[in-house]
Structure 1
Amino acid sequence: MKKSEKKVIKINWGQIIKRISPYNVKKGILYLRHYGMKEFWVKLTERFQADDVDYKEWYENHRVLEKDLEEQKNVHFFKEPLISIIVPIYNTPITFLRQMIDSVQQQSYAKWELCIGNASPEKQEIRQVLEEYKSDKRIKEIAIPENKGIAENTNKAMTISEGEFIGLLDHDDLLAPNALYEVVKALNENNLAEVVYTDEDKVTADLEEHFRPHFKPDFNLDLLRSNNYICHFFVASRDLIKRVGGFRPEFNGAQDYDLILRCTEQAKQIVHIPKILYHWRVHKASTADNPASKMYAFDAGKRAIEEHLVRCRTKGTVQHTKDLGFYRVKYEVCGEPLVSIIIPNKDQSEALKKCLDSIREKTSYRNYEIIIVENNSEEPETFAFYKKIAGEKIKIVTWEGEFNYSAINNFGVRHARGDYLLLLNNDVEIINGDWLTEMLSHCQRKEVGIVGAKLYYPDNTIQHAGIIIGIGGIAGSVFVGLPRAFSGYLHKASIQLDLSAVTAACMLVKRSVFEQVGGLEEKLKVAFNDVDFCLRVREKGYLVVYDPYAELYHYESKTRGAEDTKEKIRRFQTEIEYMRSHWIGLLKKGDPYYNCNLSLTKWDYSLKNNQRS
């Protein structure tokens, strides 16, 4: 887009005027102090955008400019590895073949070779096209007399490659002209990188329209076990691919998925580039456009995950979901460890009764205890209810201080006997009987510290499907208010994945991990204590898993009430400042389980409406 054609950002000034208040002014000043004028203006314009972002416009505004490509051609890196682009071809349409080759030749990084495994050597028109490009010595071809399938054809093409790194390109797809430049830049910035992957989009067969962008997180183990989200553009070191044994023909249809799983298991470092650098062409014969056309591919993906679990010495079974290409892993629970369910409570005996009844009547996992932490109840009915329910399974302990969610839960933990601690609000209701089994099966995994559930409002809209750092300023839940059946951006509301944080309204944590990080931060009395806790657990190297198969209703903080007094607003501002002060690096860099191209003012994975910097 030319400078003179730059899109004018439409701001809803009426909306801004409505939101001007002393509190918002103070909040804006603090944001400006932390992030500077440029980020403040970006935040302001994004927050008050009048319209949603159209990807077609976004793509045109963000695609690399010719002047940038020219500058990239003159950049000299400390490490300039030869990158071998491997492409198996078979009955490839001539137009697609030319466009694929052209996209490689147009790379601003010149140290590449294109290794084509031609499984259609008898096709004269394909031979003619390849002959036309032979003047470029970087383009190589090996004839494959008999089509052996993608896996073996790709392995054959790799035999003529010499690059230190291998990049995988399908015969009808395209690389963005700066793709290899960005990969080599990433390799120079990350010395141990053995795997690099990028964001991607889809493009129509005639190349007229780019659509359905896939903005990916940094490496996400549980998301990868749910779906081959890495997919394209995938680059790995030759040594790593050799170590894991290359492509395996028994996984044809999901050969990339199988290879990616094996490579990520052993890679020293995995780097994600959050830029659209690969264009996946969609046409009538493409799996990208018609998933049901290749069921064998999804079955191969299922087997790839199953073998991955075996290699990782993790017991679990893999199931297809209703969305083909997306999977559910059911892990085994080892033994019957005691789970301590800790529920803070102030009055609201009816809500508490509903919560306890649902646990008792619906929970299939039986080895649990319940610790109710009484905090300043006033209603006689509440104490009468306590006397009625107290017993072997339920213990009532009293916290006599002011309301402090962190301190109350830390106090409850000191009275708990279990090796696993479930922090649970008193205003939730269990939906599915295997909810605790499901959460425990994840939490027992050695790499996992915390597991969160999927919560709904009573009207069957989503209340919690994970938390993203930066949304709303500090952190916020995604997909809030969307229908229960809504599966979210690339089904992220409905599949297992790792996140930076989940809500403590229903959070399972290893006791050893809880104690390792010192429990919840008691300076955070009400807000963000769960987010801060999750981030500290992440700092210790543990995963925080969101599991949508543990489902509960959440009646949304009935006990605590609204943030509607000067004192509460002041306290909330203090908690915001605590989070900014302690996590400013992460807030500036961005949530690694999100993507810098996505909005922080919306919660549905909408595009961020920013202009080219």
Structure 2
Amino acid sequence: MTDIIPRPFDGQPLGDTLSGDLGAGSPAHAWHFHGRLDAIAGTLLSGWVLSTASPHAPVALRVAAGRAEATILPDREAPALSRLLGQPVRCRFAVDLAALFPGVDLTGLPVSVRVAESGQLLENAPQTVAGPRAVVAHVDRMEGQRILGWAVNTQDEGEAVEVEVLVDGHPIARIVANQQRRDLLARFTTCDHGFESAVPGLSGTELSLRDRRSGAVVFGPIPIVLDEVRASRSGALADRLDGLAALLEEIRTDLPRQRRLAAYPIADYAAYHREHGAETAGRRARLAPRAAALGQDGPLFSVVMPVCDPPLWMLAEAIESVRRQLYGRWELCIADDASRSDAVRALLRDESARDSRIRVSFAAARQGVCAATNRAIGLAGGDYVAFLDHDDRLSFDALLRMAEAIGESRAPVLYSDEDRIAPDGRHVDPALKPDLDPELLQSVNHVCHLLVVKRALLGELGGLRPGFEGVQDHDLVLRLLERVGAAGIRHVPRVLYHWRINPSSLSGQGGNDAAILDGIGRCVREHLARLGRRATVTADLETFRASGGLFHARVRPALPCPAPMVSIVVPTKDAVDLVRDCVGSLLSRTVYPNFEVVLVDHDSAEPQSRPFFNTLARDPRVRVADFHGPFNWAAINNAAAAGCRGDVLCFLNNDIVVTEPDWLSEMVGRLAQPGVGAVGAKLLYPNGTVQHAGVVLGAGGTADHAFAGLPGDAPGHLGQAILPRTVSAVTGACLVTSRTAFQAVGGFDMVHLPVAYADVDYCLKIQQAGLRVLWTPYARLLHLETQTRGADDTAEKAARLAVEAGRLRARWGGLSADPFYNPHFEPLGPTYGLLRPQPD
């Protein structure tokens, strides 16, 4: 029994248990303590703590539940740690919080455990005490031998509740409530809780439902009336249809608010992970049948791990994270790179002796991470190789998710999302990635962890290349892309890898920043040379520092020679002041050598407009064209494009102002790359915040701008607000495309999308034709937005916008999945701002 040293509650708060430090004013020896809060089961708290300086001395812990606290002394033996240290150690604890804090209502309270001496917060703390299980259920109707209804665990809506059907108190059937019921969104944040099941022999007097886990009756009893559905069918049906229509309208209008309330701010990722990503007995139980179903038909994974003097306990946890995989077809191939620590080598020998699936190779002299990883690959016999660092962890379902993805796609290369583990054990800094993006990959390795590659393919490439230490993963992914193409690299949008923030590793400290940046530049430069593409690649140390440490390269594609003529189409109706600033800045600040401006006059009415436009046309680079009739953005631009002389078309709003001279050179250089059909720019509001950084499909219900409102130089998630990338669409306020592509897809849709979304539709047609749409932050312009036409702020405009949005959704299948926008993000909120739970 764990010794308890009570301390009376004095009414003083304990301070911020989420601060993530090692205790205020932590002494240098804070890192001598290692430990973890394993779980809170009911009110039972368990875990372990160890002093590496004195492993046999008990470490006093301060346990806090809300504002109440007490001190405990762990005294239970820890078998795994005893094996690790080669001698018995008593460092585990298990204590009943209800007994520790009598009279305190623990439900919902945060529980933290700290080392009393140093204030160090144990890993995985704080956690929250769950209240009693709360299942609600309902039987909606009985039809013959079928019953229909729903059941929800209100504490964990992700659970598929299993209920027993009781007739006159006797169980006659079991039902799992896991079918979609959209009407439940009016009461709950998820809707996969319905059931419709045949119950053979359903007869008797009364029916009830019982929660199978708790044994509590959660619905009924109600009379069994099997003929109810046949009584008064016509009148009842009409009433139900009216009620259903009202309910659907209520759900439609309230759904965005409900989804936003259920989402987590990305800054609160630690809480999101605790609730929806952490390993729990329930999640293991739900996923275990899927792992069992794969049996021996799934791929064999060789997890390769180079090792070089990691902290012993981190190495032990990395190995244990492989051993705890739900999916059992794996082997762990470890190459020790001449670790100086006898304890590290002893641990590796011990683990290999304990488990025949663990293979270890020892080097007599240090060779570097590339050579060590290649030696580990040499030990592998699996179908696929998965890369794991010696101080990181895999999620318990990592190999299961990868095996399922391989079964679906047979992809030769796969990667997942990842996060980081802070020194206090909290999961922070999620990397929620887009699908494979060749453009973004030229700047930054957005693939990273967890990377899984077909072993035969790795052999063809020769593994990692020595000489690229520090950027070896980036170099490998670029070479894989060259071999299998973007379609051969599958993104699995799950957080399957936990990158530990280790103060002695690259993730915890700066290292040689300039050398790493130079290495990225070198591997990207060689990649482009192998593809035969002309570009200038430089290390961007200035942006690296300004962005808070984003390792990336700056790529400047070469302009074609000679530079093609660009026709810049600027529609306007009056708005002399806007046109003066727009066209004036085009003519005076654009350094691109070959362009014309086609100013389209749409029935201007103010007397000063046409004379001013004619004055602008005195410049040989400017022409004025006329368009007559109702406002139709798509038709205006289509008509102007037909009369343009350039091989490249640039559609530009009249409220755009050029601020940087090389904007057009940057966009044309991107457009000239193979397979590119359209390019968009970074548009800023006058206050310097982002107005446009690409378009996200499904955002706001249809499509919306990424990173809107973000400070203009802020990196955004994974640096995507300051790095060139592939997007699903860009705004027509500044869109560059080739005349050939424009004609091939029929230009803008002026019949069905005359005002809104024609630009999004055009970009989707471009992609349907096999071309990519790019966005570049290196073309920055000022956008005054809707200064001529005005905002959609009247009932008539809002109705027109809704109609065109509906047409766009109908044409392109609902726009529910943007491949360049991670599904963890809630689309009905600010882009990249809110996280929504993913079903298992």
TM-score, normalized by length of structure 1? 0.91
- Alpha-carbon offset, residue 51 of structure 1: 7.2
**Aligned counterpart for 1:317 among listed residues 508, 522, 536:** 536
1:288 counterpart residue number = 507
Name the aligned partner's letter for residue 258 of structure 2. T
The question of whether the paired residues in 2 share the 8 Å contact of 1:12 and 1:50 is answered with no
Name the aligned partner's letter for residue 215 of structure 1. L
**Aligned counterpart for 2:668 among listed residues 434, 440, 444:** 440
* Mapped pair 1:515 → 2:748: no
Q: Which range is displaced more, 217-226 or 487-496? A: 487-496
Name the aligned partner's letter for residue 212 of structure 1. D
Structure with greater Cα Rg: 2
Describe the SS at the equivalent of 1:148.
coil
Output one character per residue of 1:128-158: Cα deviation in whole Å (capped at 9) or x when no partner. Answer: 2122222311100111111111011111111
For residues 29 and 290 of structure 1, what CA distance do their matches in structure 2 show? 58
Pair 1:562–1:607, CA change in 2 (3 A): closer
Of all paired residues, the percent bearing the same amino acid is 35
* Mapped pair 1:363 → 2:577: no
2:753 counterpart residue number = 524
- Alpha-carbon offset, residue 461 of structure 1: 1.7
Q: How is 1:46-445 mapped onto 2 (pairs within 5 angstroms)?
A: 46-48=259-261, 52=265, 54-63=268-277, 64=279, 65-76=283-294, 79-120=297-338, 123-133=341-351, 134-191=353-410, 193-205=411-423, 208-267=425-484, 269-321=488-540, 322-323=543-544, 324-335=550-561, 336-391=563-618, 392-445=620-673
For residues 253 and 316 of structure 2, what CA distance do their matches in structure 1 show? 45
The question of whether the paired residues in 2 share the 8 Å contact of 1:340 and 1:416 is answered with yes
For residues 166 and 365 of structure 1, what CA distance do their matches in structure 2 show? 48
Describe the SS at the equivalent of 1:236.
strand
**Aligned counterpart for 2:768 among listed residues 539, 546, 549:** 539
1:504 counterpart residue number = 732
Name the aligned partner's letter for residue 260 of structure 2. R
Pair 1:263–1:416, CA change in 2 (3 A): same
Name the aligned partner's letter for residue 506 of structure 2. T
The question of whether the paired residues in 1 share the 8 Å contact of 2:450 and 2:496 is answered with yes
What are the ranges of 5 or more consecutive residues in structure 1 without an aligned counterpart?
14-27
- Alpha-carbon offset, residue 194 of structure 1: 0.8
The question of whether the paired residues in 2 share the 8 Å contact of 1:488 and 1:604 is answered with no
1:560 counterpart residue number = 789
- Alpha-carbon offset, residue 52 of structure 1: 3.4
* Mapped pair 1:583 → 2:583: no
Pair 1:77–1:366, CA change in 2 (3 A): farther
For residues 716 and 728 of structure 2, what CA distance do their matches in structure 1 show? 18
Output one character per residue of 1:258-295: Cα deviation in whole Å (capped at 9) or x when no partner. Answer: 00110122126111111100000002122123235443
* Mapped pair 1:468 → 2:696: yes
The question of whether the paired residues in 1 share the 8 Å contact of 2:301 and 2:331 is answered with yes
For residues 7 and 111 of structure 1, what CA distance do their matches in structure 2 show? 31
For residues 433 and 346 of structure 2, what CA distance do their matches in structure 1 show? 38
Q: How is 1:486-497 mapped onto 2 (pairs within 5 angstroms)?
A: 486-497=714-725
1:45 counterpart residue number = 258
- Alpha-carbon offset, residue 595 of structure 1: 0.6
For residues 247 and 734 of structure 2, what CA distance do their matches in structure 1 show? 30
Q: Which range is displaced more, 73-82 or 482-491? A: 73-82
- Alpha-carbon offset, residue 123 of structure 1: 3.7
Describe the SS at the equivalent of 1:226.
coil
Name the aligned partner's letter for residue 737 of structure 2. V
Pair 1:612–1:194, CA change in 2 (3 A): closer
Describe the SS at the equivalent of 2:265.
coil
Pair 1:354–1:298, CA change in 2 (3 A): same
Query: Which structure has the higher relative contact order (CA within 8 Å, separation 6+)?
Result: 1
Output one character per residue of 1:417-465: Cα deviation in whole Å (capped at 9) or x when no partner. Answer: 1111000001110010000000010000112111110111112221111
Describe the SS at the equivalent of 1:291.
coil
Q: Which range is displaced more, 329-338 or 242-251? A: 242-251
What are the ranges of 5 or more consecutive residues in structure 2 without an aligned counterpart?
1-127, 135-153, 159-184, 188-243, 545-549
Q: CA RMSD in A?
A: 2.6
Name the aligned partner's letter for residue 104 of structure 1. V
The question of whether the paired residues in 2 share the 8 Å contact of 1:46 and 1:608 is answered with no
Output one character per residue of 1:19-39: Cα deviation in whole Å (capped at 9) or x when no partner. Answer: xxxxxxxxx989969xx97x9
Q: Which range is displaced more, 272-281 or 70-79? A: 70-79
The question of whether the paired residues in 1 share the 8 Å contact of 2:265 and 2:835 is answered with no
- Alpha-carbon offset, residue 204 of structure 1: 2.3
Q: Which range is displaced more, 177-186 or 235-244? A: 235-244
The structure carrying a bigger strand percent of its residues is: 2
Pair 1:131–1:581, CA change in 2 (3 A): same
Output one character per residue of 1:364-420: Cα deviation in whole Å (capped at 9) or x when no partner. Answer: 112001111111210111110122122532111111121110111110110011111
Describe the SS at the equivalent of 1:524.
coil
Name the aligned partner's letter for residue 652 of structure 2. L
The question of whether the paired residues in 2 share the 8 Å contact of 1:469 and 1:500 is answered with yes
Name the aligned partner's letter for residue 433 of structure 1. P
For residues 838 and 405 of structure 2, what CA distance do their matches in structure 1 show? 23
- Alpha-carbon offset, residue 467 of structure 1: 1.0
* Mapped pair 1:6 → 2:155: yes
- Alpha-carbon offset, residue 498 of structure 1: 0.8
- Alpha-carbon offset, residue 494 of structure 1: 1.0
- Alpha-carbon offset, residue 105 of structure 1: 0.6
2:680 counterpart residue number = 452
